[in-house]
Amino acid sequence: MSSMSKNARICAVGSAPPLVDKGLNEHFDVVREADLEVRGLAVCGGHTRIDGAFVELFPKLEIVSSFGVGYDHVDAASLAKRGIVVTHTPDVLTGEVADLALGLLISTVRQLPQVDRYLREGKWLKGAYPLTTTLRGRKVGILGLGRIGKAIAMRLEACDLEIEYHGRNAQPDVAYRYHPTLLGLAQSCDVLMVVASGGAETRHIVNKEVLEALGADGILINVGRGTVVDEAALIKALQDKKILSAGLDVFEDEPRVPAELIAMEHVVLLPHVGSASVHTRNAMGQLVVDNLVSWFGGKGAITPVPECQTLAASKAKG
C-alpha cells in the first residue's frame, strides 16, 4: 500500500454530500467518471451496482468506501476476491436509526400522523379522535439484532416491552429469547421490527406466512431494507386485515412506493429517513472520507465490511 498523496485518484460515484466533496477534494485527485488511474471509489447512494463488472473499469482499484451501514448495492464478496477492500459507515448512525425506529413504532401504534391531520383539518371541532391501539402489553420481535437492533431493544426496554429476536444464530451474551425461525418469532410476537440488511439471503423472508403469523392485531415496522419484506404480500395482508398496521421507512423499489400503500390511511410511510439528520449524515460522510484517507495514508481501512475484514487486515500488515 503506497502512502497517501494529493495525486491518489478517487472516483466519486453518486451524489456526494457537500462534506464528502470537500474532504475528497482536500485530500485527493477526484474524478466523476471511469479512469484507468482511479485507486479508490467513494460511493454515495445505493442505486449504482458496484460489482465485478463495474470495477473492471478500474484496473488499479484498491478500496471502495461506501456511504451507509447497508451495502447490498456492493458485491463485497466478489470485490474481496479481487483484492479490493470495501468499507461502510456503521456505528455513527446507530442511535439515529434506533430513535427513528422507536418513533415510527409509536407513530404507527398511536396513529400520530393521522391524529395530526385530524386536528389540522378542523375535525377536532366536530368531535374527539377515535381511540387507538396501544403499546401496552405488546411483545416485540426483532429481526436482525445487530448494532442497530440492540440499540432499538434498549429503547424498547425503557417502554416496558418484552423483546424476542431472530437472526442467523443465537447470541450468548443476549438475554432476550431467541427463535431459530422467523415464523416462530412472528407467532410469538405481535410487533415485528425489521432491522435486517438486504441482499439475496434476506429477500422476501417476511412473507405471507410470517405476516399472517403476527395476527390480526399485528404490526410490522421496517427500518432495515425494503427487499426483506414481500411488499405484495404485505399489501394483501393489510387489505384483508390479516395484520393491523405497518410503519415503513424503506421500500422494495425506492423512491417508488406502491399506490396501494399510499392510499391506506392506517399505515405510516416515511421516505427512508432513518439516518437523515444533519448531524448523523455529516458523521457518515466524514467516515467515508476518513476510510480513504486512512487507507492511502498506509494505516488500513477503519470500518471494513465483514466480507473484507481479513483482506483489510492482511493488506494493512503488508
Return the active site residues.
225, 254, 272
What is the DSSP code (8-state) at residue 253? Answer: B
Q: For 17, list phi and psi in degrees, rounded to 5.
A: -60, 155
Cα-atom radius of gyration of the chain, to the nearest Å? 22
From the list 99, 55, 93, 50, the residue with the least C-alpha distance to 71 is 50
Q: What is the C-alpha to C-alpha distance for residues 210 and 220, in angstroms, rounded to an integer?
A: 10
Kindly report the number of other CB atoms within 10 A of residue 22's CB atom.
13
What DSSP line would sit under 143-187, residue for residue? E--SHHHHHHHHHHHHTT-EEEEE-SS--TT--SEE-SSHHHHHH
Q: For 224, list phi and psi in degrees, rounded to 5.
A: -90, -100
Q: For 81, list phi and psi in degrees, rounded to 5.
A: -65, -25
Angle between helices 18-27 and 278-296 (to 10 degrees): 20
From the list 219, 177, 196, the residue with the least C-alpha distance to 70 is 196
